[in-house]
Amino acid sequence: MPHLAVQPPALPVFSTDQPDTGVRLHRVICVGRNYAEHAREMGNDPEREPPFFFFKPASAVVPSGTTIPYPPATDNLHHEAELAVLVGTGGAEIAPQAALSHVWGLAAANDLTRRDLQAEAKQMRRPWDMAKGFDNSAVLGRLHRGVDLAGDRSIRCRVDDVLRQDAPLSAMIWPVEEIIAHVSRLLTLQPGDLILTGTPAGVGPLARGQTCTVEIDGFDPATVTLA
The answer to whether 55 and 27 have CB atoms below 8 angstroms apart is yes
79: in domain: yes
Q: Please choose, from the candidates 50, 42, 37, the residue with its C-alpha nearest in 3D space to the C-alpha of residue 183.
A: 50
Residue 149, pLDDT score: 87
Could you list the residue range(s) of the whole structural domain that residue 179 is in? 24-226
6: in domain: no
Rounded to two decimals, the pTM is 0.95
Give residue-wise pLDDT tens across range 92-110: 999 999 999 999 999 999 9
**E-strand stretches of the chain:** 14-15, 22-23, 27-32, 52-56, 61-63, 66-68, 77-79, 81-87, 103-111, 113-114, 138-140, 144-145, 154-159, 162-168, 193-196, 204-205, 211-216, 222-226
Q: For residue 46, give the CATH number of its domain.
A: 3.90.850.10
78: in domain: yes
Strand bridging mode 193-196 / 27-32: parallel
111: in domain: yes
Alpha-carbon gap, residue 93 to 84, rounded angstroms: 21
1: in domain: no
Alpha-carbon gap, residue 100 to 122, rounded angstroms: 33
Identify the bridge partners of residue 130 per DSSP, sorted by sequence position: none
H-state helical runs in the chain: 36-41, 115-124, 129-132, 176-184
3: in domain: no
Q: Please choose, from the candidates 187, 198, 180, 203, the residue with its C-alpha nearest in 3D space to the C-alpha of residue 42.
A: 203
18: in domain: no
The upper half-sphere exposure of residue 180, i.e. CA atoms within 13 Å in the direction of its Cβ, equals 27
Give residue-wise pLDDT tens across range 161-208: 999 999 999 999 999 999 999 999 999 999 999 999 999 999 999 999
Positive or negative, the CA dihedral 99, 100, 103, 107 is positive
Residue 210, pLDDT score: 98
Q: How many domains does the chain have?
A: 1
177: in domain: yes
